[in-house]
Amino acid sequence: MRAVRLRREGPGDGTPRRGPARPASLRLLRREARGDAPLLACLAVLVAVFTGLCALGPVELGGKEDQALRQRLAAAADAGAVLTVSAPVELPQPGLGAPNPPALRTQLESGGQSVVSTAGRTLGTALRPVRTTVDYQLLGIDSPLPVDPRVTQESVTLHHISDAPAYLHYVQGAAPADSTPAGELPGIALSTGEAKLLGLGLGQQVELWFQATRSSPRYEVLVRLVGIYRPEQEQSEFWRQLPGLDKPLEYPGQLAGTLNIAVQGLVGADAPELLAKQGIPLPTVGWEYRVALGDAAVKQLPALAADTRNLAIDLNDLLCTDSPATGDSPCSIGAHPSGSYVVDDGLTPVLTAFTGADAQTRALAGFAVASLAAVGLATVLVSVRLLLRRRAVHLRLQRSRGASATGLVLQRSLVTAPVLLLAGELGWRLGLLPAPTGTSGSPQPVAALLGTAAALLLVPLLTWYAVREPGRAREVRRRASRRTRRLVLEATALVLCVGGVVALRVRGSGGGAGIDVQLSLVPVLVALVAVLLLVRLYPLVLGLLAGRSRRGGGVVAFLGLRGAARDAGGTSLALFVLVITLGTAVFGGMVSRSVYDGAAVGAAWTAGADVSLVQQGDVAPTPVAAGGSSPVRATVAEYLRTVLLTGDEDGANLPQTALITVDPAQLAAADPDGPLARALGVLHGGKPVATGTASATAPVLADPGLIVAENGESLRAVVDSALGSSRTALHLKPVGALTPALRQDPVLGPLVAGLPADTPVIVGTTALEPLLPAQQTGGTALLLFARPGAAPAAVAAAAADALGPQAQVRVRAEVLGTLRGDGLVRIVDDVYTVCSLLAVVFGLLAVALELVLTARERGRTSSYLRTLGLAGRQAAVLQVLQLVPLAVAAAAGGVLVGVLEPRLLGPALSISQFTGGPAAPALHTDYLLTALLGAGLAALVVCAAVVESTVLRMRRLGGVLRLGEA
Amino acid sequence: MSVNHAADRAGAPDLGELRRRAAEAARPEREEGLIVCENLVRIYQTEGVEVQALQGLDLAVARGEMVAVIGASGSGKSTLLGILSGQDVPTAGSAEVAGHDLLTMKRRDRLAYRRGTVGFVWQQTSRNLLPYLTAAENVMLPMTYAGVKRSERRNRAGELLDLMGVGYCADRGPGELSGGEQQRVAIAVANANRPRVLFADEPTGELDTATSEEIFAALRQANEELGVTVVVVTHDALVSEQVQRTVRIRNGRTSTEVLRRITTDDDGAQELTAEEYAVLDRNGRLQLPSEFTERLHMRKRVRLALETDHIGVWPDAAAQRAKADADEVQAETEGDDA
């Protein structure tokens, strides 16, 4: 050793002597960053993915929501015009001396434009004219006389439909002229079927008559058949909406064995003036619109709903003028005076349904997003822990060399912050690149900043925790023990979880705009509590197993299980990540499965059978061929009427009730195992039976509430006829309760679905039909059960006219397809798929990092055991065995959380918005998926353990020994 | 009888003064030294078990001393070092280093204490130096924290490395240094801010005997050349030969001290003598070396006898009988063997 003379200076006095403390140099930071590169890269990727998702996810989600809304609007438009504005127009009649206004046809377009310009800005922009119509009331046909002697009445409704020519092919003659030459009769056109049924030929003159009321004058009108057409583009929306233009309606007349015929004919654009000259003054002008929303459809939804609600008011405010003299408000269509504008709003129900479903979609998506965020944050936490663990020795060294805690925190932050900020910025920009423009969603910079800030803050926080100054002696003594702190943490998590669940159950998942934070956080808390319980419980189980294995002589198993039990607390973060990841995936699978199954129930409820026809009013269906070669196996007719009930015993009035009559024999043949079919057996045919002097009493199944209200006594039902001209009274005796299960029988769906939810229902048999008058407010449904293998379309075609052309056809398969193909359902599926996949990636990363964190301890144990003579293979088995309990606990915990969570949340988690149906759909666990997910996750963890043990086995003896000594 | 109370009052202390004097008289006399620990207690919990690492330890180290604290594993020596280095806080008692009360020190004072008052050398050679800095940079690092000017840092680092005989390693990274070189650089680092005390925790634990000699030479050089007080903590009893005073810790208390001095006889010959002393604390407690007590079968009770110039410690009657029996058995055994 070489001696060197030093200046003898006094030892230090404990304070800096030449200036303030300086932060670590840039060079030092650079070198530290180089050493931390792998973990910094890991953190950077996590932050970049997070900010990328914040940039892309909401925009993509918004685009999908827009698409779903547009899909629903298109489906509504296909089913019929979404919005129809109509007004009865007054045309000058001959001899009244009124000035001749311009032809109505010249005013129709401008009238339609007025409607659009009057509508609010959002609605006005979205309205797309479909057609303009001029419709007349029903006209009787005087001549020619009916061909069929059974026909007692023939009638026609005349229409001018602007877009009709595009969907017609004239097989004879031509379309009625829009400018009929002077002196000629107004022309009409009929379909081939109609003309044939009426026995009309081209050029034939037809005499029509019209009488508004019995006291009104009777007008006779002459028209000429100028064209006979057949449909073109039969599958088009036009023919779905207007089938009556092709198919005449034949229905039973008032007298037995008689028939009535109703047809729809087309007239030219000048028909209003020509018919007005013959005394028919009041056609109704209608403008039908569909609504087409462009970009950012969902964002426009509130304004659109408001505009739609206000449309009728706006129209009548702007296009009508108050007349103080008469007290009414005459309106106008161009130069023509008109009645008030009426809006047939099919849009608001669509928007309302979408708003509810969208809120539920966001709530469900919030679950997945929150879980992903929690997994991401946990992964960041593990990464930072590992980063600090690797630097622990250096930090301690720097601390002892005089570095302040603040300086070290700053130093670590200076190393990580630029990387994380750059990664965040890069992720954000990369996320924006593929993000579609013009969607309702917008990038969430605040969320991205918060996520990045959380990652940024974790580094200084954990660094500070690692290098903080020891407290003063008194503080140290007072500091709560670790056991107490753990108990406090567990109790806090439990209280928060229980509170969150209770609050959610009380308030429900009332959807608002954006993601519900409380609803999103509860699953995370549930997972946290599950993990805390697991960490408490599974070491006990492992202890028991270890005891057994010790008695059984399995040293490796004993050591592995004991090691796993001891490390249980240390692996809680990995367990949390795995549990929440698996829980989210299982939860998503359950939601998906429940929606899938619930949609089947909803479709069955909506359609009632394979195919159903639903018509307003009580209509006797024409017979449908069933059995044999017909695609229809069986049919069931059912009728709905509104009745007023009073108790026979106490005379108390009961709420307005729906009376449904079903043919029990038909139902038993069609659906013998159905609950309603079996229950109707107690009615024994349901024929009214006269008892003494009282009028006939019919047995029925009644709503339990009605039975309780009247102590099971009979009820007097009053049924008003269609025009209110007569009343029928009969007595109903409840002989059985219409339990919820019976009320939810799909066969009642087509009629009950349209009733308010709290309407009491009574079900009787069609034996009552002869006693009951027809009601316009009622409904008729004809359920068609398909022969096995028969196509639903064939079934529908076989009975297309059974309830007349206006009947609504519901095909179960189509309803099901619509429900399952709904854009919002796909969003839920997509969000869960993406979030689950990302969570699995993050989770595995977290587990891998956690394994690295705890590898030293396991490696030390196995190295020590190897020096005692444990074989390499046994050491590897031990290594895997130490991690298998973690995998099993994670799989069990994740499955448990995923399965229990929806049950815990109860009413807060409603998926009925996606399924329809009579009640909230039952939650169905997808057991196969759950088992696969659980097993897959466990297998992945075990794989990680195997890889780790393989790496350890490759360690040479020298390394083993050194590790053992470390 | 008349008493001149006024005269009494003029010469007599008042009540407050009397109380102050009483308190001073009651206060135990404090040891003198750069490092003074009195009745130091440190209790901590590990895995739910309460561990009393220090159980009333007393220690005094004078300025400029080079002291070794030795003890078996678990005796509390590392806990003591943790407290003295300002990285841990005692549960009770008092600890003072260079005027810093380690119990009442605030965070800022603690930082300044680590920067300027104490320096450390640890057992693991690789844990004394930051691996990504060169030897010179490692020496400059504490000076950076203390706010020493850049040019001065460089000069000082060079001088220290030269003093430790590793000047040629200035631009090498720790990975390029041998264990001995690393420890010498570590001693240079520990002295960078001119500390008053240098703590070394098993500084030769990973080194061979020859290199250990070099490290102790470097520590002695720092002690002598730089005037820094050196406290070496080790479990290796042989280390005591390298220092002037060795303090042994047993069960969290100082039990014995060995003082080494060179004596010169009448012929002028120098002889290294070592005398072992038991430590008597302020409360009169004394730890008897275990080899003594075992040899004399002293257990639980001993009999004390005050003589004119010493105190005799005798085994109690049962122990004496046990000893007699043991001697008898041993004699018989030896007779048989013969």
- What is the per-residue pLDDT across A76-97, written as a single tens digit (0 to 9) for each? 887 776 888 888 887 665 555 5
For an interface test with A, the pick among B94, B106, B114 (most A C-beta atoms closer than 10 Å) comes out as: B114
A393 touches chain B (CB under 8 A): yes
Q: Which residues of A touch B85 (CB under 8 A)?
A: 400
pLDDT at B12 (0 to 100) = 64
**In a domain? residue A75:** no
With an 8 Å Cβ cutoff, are B145 and A401 in contact?
yes
Q: Which residues of A touch B110 (CB under 8 A)?
A: 469
Separation CA A714–CA A716 (nearest Å): 7
Sequence letter at residue A303: A
The total number of residues shown for chain B amounts to: 338
Section A396-404 average pLDDT: 82
Separation CA B110–CA A107 (nearest Å): 93
Q: What is the pLDDT of residues A519-563, one digit of tens each?
A: 777 888 888 888 888 888 888 888 888 888 777 766 777 878 887
Distance from the Cα of A844 to chain B's closest Cα (Å) equals 30
Count helices and strands in chain A by DSSP H and E runs: 28, 24
A616 or A166, which is more confident: A166
Q: What is the pLDDT of residues B75-120, one digit of tens each?
A: 888 888 888 888 788 888 888 898 888 888 887 888 888 888 898 8
Domain boundaries, position B306: 289-338
The last residue of a domain, from among B237, B259, B281:
B259
With an 8 Å Cβ cutoff, are B144 and A22 in contact?
yes
pLDDT at A334 (0 to 100) = 77
With a cut of 70, say whether residue A721 has pLDDT above it: no
**B330 and B218 in a common domain:** no
Q: Which residues of B touch A24 (CB under 8 A)?
A: 144
**A828 and A769 in a common domain:** no
CB of B288 closer than 8 Å to CB of B313: yes
Eight-state DSSP code of residue B241: G
**In a domain? residue A222:** yes
pLDDT at B168 (0 to 100) = 92
Band the pLDDT of A8: cuts 50, 70, 90.
very low
pLDDT at A514 (0 to 100) = 56
State the ipTM, two decimals: 0.72
Chain B 206-245, residues with CB within 8 Å of chain A CB atoms: 214, 217-218, 221, 225-228
Chain A 472-501, residues with CB within 8 Å of chain B CB atoms: 472-473, 476-477, 481-483
**A695 and A581 in a common domain:** no
**Residue of chain A whose Cα is closest to the Cα of B195:** A12
Distance from the Cα of A15 to chain B's closest Cα (Å) equals 5
Q: What is the pLDDT of residues A228-244, one digit of tens each?
A: 998 888 777 788 778 77
**CA-CA distances (angstroms) from residue B159 to A4, A436, B122, B136, B178?**
8, 66, 22, 10, 20
**Count of CB pairs separated by less than 8 Å, A with B:** 146
Band the pLDDT of A5: cuts 50, 70, 90.
very low
With a cut of 80, say whether residue B28 has pLDDT above it: no
A35 touches chain B (CB under 8 A): yes
A738, two tokens: 């219409």
pLDDT at A965 (0 to 100) = 41
For an interface test with B, the pick among A5, A6, A27 (most B C-beta atoms closer than 10 Å) comes out as: A6
**B230 and B295 in a common domain:** no
**Residue of chain B whose Cα is closest to the Cα of A395:** B130
Separation CA A61–CA B148 (nearest Å): 57
**A264 and A168 in a common domain:** yes
With an 8 Å Cβ cutoff, are A404 and B142 in contact?
no
B115 touches chain A (CB under 8 A): yes
**In a domain? residue A323:** no
With an 8 Å Cβ cutoff, are A11 and B132 in contact?
no
Band the pLDDT of A2: cuts 50, 70, 90.
very low
**In a domain? residue A365:** yes
The values of phi and psi at residue A785, to 5°, are -100, 125
**In a domain? residue B308:** yes
**A779 and A673 in a common domain:** yes
Distance from the Cα of A487 to chain B's closest Cα (Å) equals 14
**B169 and B57 in a common domain:** yes
Count helices and strands in chain B by DSSP H and E runs: 10, 13
Q: Which residues of A touch B95 (CB under 8 A)?
A: none
pLDDT at A10 (0 to 100) = 44
With a cut of 60, say whether residue A27 has pLDDT above it: yes
**Residue of chain A whose Cα is closest to the Cα of B161:** A4
With a cut of 70, say whether residue A509 has pLDDT above it: no
B21 or A327, which is more confident: B21
With a cut of 60, say whether residue B338 has pLDDT above it: no
**B154 and B192 in a common domain:** yes
**B87 and B44 in a common domain:** yes
């010249």: which residue's tokens?
A106
**A578 and A647 in a common domain:** no
User: For B163, which of A6, A402, A473 is closest by C-beta distance?
Assistant: A6
**In a domain? residue B165:** yes
**CA-CA distances (angstroms) from residue A4 to A911, A915, B186?**
84, 89, 18
With a cut of 50, say whether residue A15 has pLDDT above it: no
A939 touches chain B (CB under 8 A): no
pLDDT at A424 (0 to 100) = 93
Three-class secondary structure of residue A556 per DSSP: helix
Three-class secondary structure of residue A25 per DSSP: coil
Number of domains composing chain A: 3
Q: List the beta bridge partners of residue B118.
A: B197
Band the pLDDT of A453: cuts 50, 70, 90.
very high
Q: List the beta bridge partners of residue A728.
A: A719
**In a domain? residue A311:** no
With a cut of 90, say whether residue B266 has pLDDT above it: no
**A577 and A509 in a common domain:** yes
Rg (CA), chain B: 26
Q: Which residues of B touch A16 (CB under 8 A)?
A: 112, 115-116, 146-148
User: For B147, which of A21, A35, A483 is closest by C-beta distance?
Assistant: A21
Domain boundaries, position A248: 137-282
Q: Which residues of A touch B114 (CB under 8 A)?
A: 399-402
**In a domain? residue A288:** no
pLDDT at A693 (0 to 100) = 52
**A400 and A359 in a common domain:** yes
With a cut of 70, say whether residue B123 has pLDDT above it: yes
Q: What percent of chain B has pLDDT over 90?
A: 6
pLDDT at A170 (0 to 100) = 92
Band the pLDDT of A474: cuts 50, 70, 90.
very low
> Which range among A38-52, A127-141, A280-294, A471-485 shows the weakest confidence by mean pLDDT?
A471-485
User: For B130, which of A394, A476, A477 is closest by C-beta distance?
Assistant: A394
Number of domains composing chain B: 2
**CA-CA distances (angstroms) from residue B113 to A737, B93, B308?**
88, 19, 47
**In a domain? residue B8:** no
Separation CA A539–CA A882 (nearest Å): 12
Q: What DSSP letter does each residue of B120-169 carry, written as one string? A: EE-SSGGGSS-TTS-HHHHHHHHHHHHT--HHHHHHHHHHHHHHTT-GGG
With a cut of 60, say whether residue A137 has pLDDT above it: yes
pLDDT at A430 (0 to 100) = 92
**A512 and A375 in a common domain:** yes
Q: Which residues of A touch B196 (CB under 8 A)?
A: 11-14
CB of A103 closer than 8 Å to CB of A273: yes
Eight-state DSSP code of residue A478: H
Separation CA A97–CA A91 (nearest Å): 12
User: For A18, which of B152, B217, B221 is closest by C-beta distance?
Assistant: B152
**A408 and A548 in a common domain:** yes
| Closest C-alpha among B159, B162, B180, B168 to residue B134 | B168
* Average pLDDT score, chain B: 81
Rg (CA), chain A: 39
Separation CA B206–CA A962 (nearest Å): 12
**B220 and B134 in a common domain:** yes
Sequence letter at residue B278: A
**B214 and B121 in a common domain:** yes
**In a domain? residue B160:** yes
pLDDT at A421 (0 to 100) = 92
pLDDT at A409 (0 to 100) = 87
How many C-beta atoms surround the C-beta of residue A237 within 10 A? 17
Q: What is the pLDDT of residues A781-810, one digit of tens each?
A: 888 888 888 888 888 877 777 776 567 788
Chain A 193-252, residues with CB within 8 Å of chain B CB atoms: none
Q: What is the pLDDT of residues A810-860, one digit of tens each?
A: 888 888 888 888 888 888 888 888 888 888 888 888 777 777 777 777 777
Q: Which residues of B touch A397 (CB under 8 A)?
A: 127-130
**B300 and B239 in a common domain:** no
**In a domain? residue B282:** no
Distance from the Cα of A378 to chain B's closest Cα (Å) equals 25
A321-357: b (≥16 Cβ within 10 Å) or e? eeeeeeeeeebbbbebbbbbbbbebbbbebbeebbeb
**A565 and A462 in a common domain:** yes
Q: List the beta bridge partners of residue A135.
A: A159, A284
With an 8 Å Cβ cutoff, are A400 and B196 in contact?
no
**Residue of chain B whose Cα is closest to the Cα of A21:** B147
Separation CA B89–CA A613 (nearest Å): 86
Q: Which residues of B touch A37 (CB under 8 A)?
A: none
**Residue of chain B whose Cα is closest to the Cα of A482:** B48
Q: Which residues of A touch B107 (CB under 8 A)?
A: 405, 469
Section A26-33 average pLDDT: 74
**In a domain? residue A12:** no
pLDDT at B161 (0 to 100) = 92
Distance from the Cα of B212 to chain A's closest Cα (Å) equals 13
Band the pLDDT of B197: cuts 50, 70, 90.
very high
For an interface test with A, the pick among B115, B128, B129, B230 (most A C-beta atoms closer than 10 Å) comes out as: B115
HSE at residue B131, side-chain half, CA atoms within 13 A, is 15
Eight-state DSSP code of residue A618: -
**B202 and B301 in a common domain:** no
Separation CA A261–CA A735 (nearest Å): 41
**A790 and A872 in a common domain:** no
A594 or A426, which is more confident: A426
* Average pLDDT score, chain A: 80
Residues 6+ apart with CB under 8 A from A911: A360, A364, A591, A594, A595, A598, A920, A921
Chain A 872-931, residues with CB within 8 Å of chain B CB atoms: none
Q: What is the pLDDT of residues B276-286, one digit of tens each?
A: 788 777 777 77
User: For A11, which of B129, B189, B196 is closest by C-beta distance?
Assistant: B196
With an 8 Å Cβ cutoff, are A402 and B120 in contact?
no
**In a domain? residue B6:** no
Distance from the Cα of A959 to chain B's closest Cα (Å) equals 16
**A423 and A508 in a common domain:** yes
**In a domain? residue A80:** no
**In a domain? residue B269:** no
The last residue of a domain, from among B208, B239, B259:
B259
